[in-house]
Amino acid sequence: MDKFMKIAIEEARLGINSGHGGPFGCVIVRDGEVVGKGHNEVIKRSDPTCHGEVMAIRNACQNLGTYDLTGCELYTTAEPCPMCRGAILWANIRKVYFGCNIADTDKIGFRDKVFYEGEHNFSAELDRAECLEVFEEYRDMKDKKHY
């Protein structure tokens, strides 16, 4: 067994045994060293965004003092959902290793599959002109960050 996946599995067990959420544990590694870890804390924090990958990204960013995890790899017990995939991309993580796939997640009662299928028409454009003003203010600022 891979040593980093073993840590992710331990993290998942910590979460489920503590009643924090589902069996999703994650570690982030840079240059062969663990720089962040986390597990699902959706139930503990009453927050649907507290997936294992997101918690590990937050932990790694805090530990490294940066929002840019370029050069890092992520190990997780399950294939990342679309939200986590987005967070992984925003963090610039270069490689993801996962244990269980979406079908496995579905078999234990999680609804990840629905996020990969069909249309979800719950958004609509509103007050674009006013929002563009804010975007233009940002565009014209000096020393801005694009994250």
How big is the chain, counted in residues?
147
> Where in the sequence numbering do the catalytic residues fall?
53
* Whether the Cβ atoms of residue 27 and residue 37 lie closer than 8 Å to each other: yes
* Whether the Cβ atoms of residue 29 and residue 97 lie closer than 8 Å to each other: no
DSSP string covering 26-89, please?
Answer: EEEEETTEEEEEEE--HHHHT-TT--HHHHHHHHHHHHHT-S--TTEEEEEEEPPPHHHHHHHH
Q: Which H helix or E strand runs over 25?
A: strand 25-30
* Whether the Cβ atoms of residue 39 and residue 15 lie closer than 8 Å to each other: yes
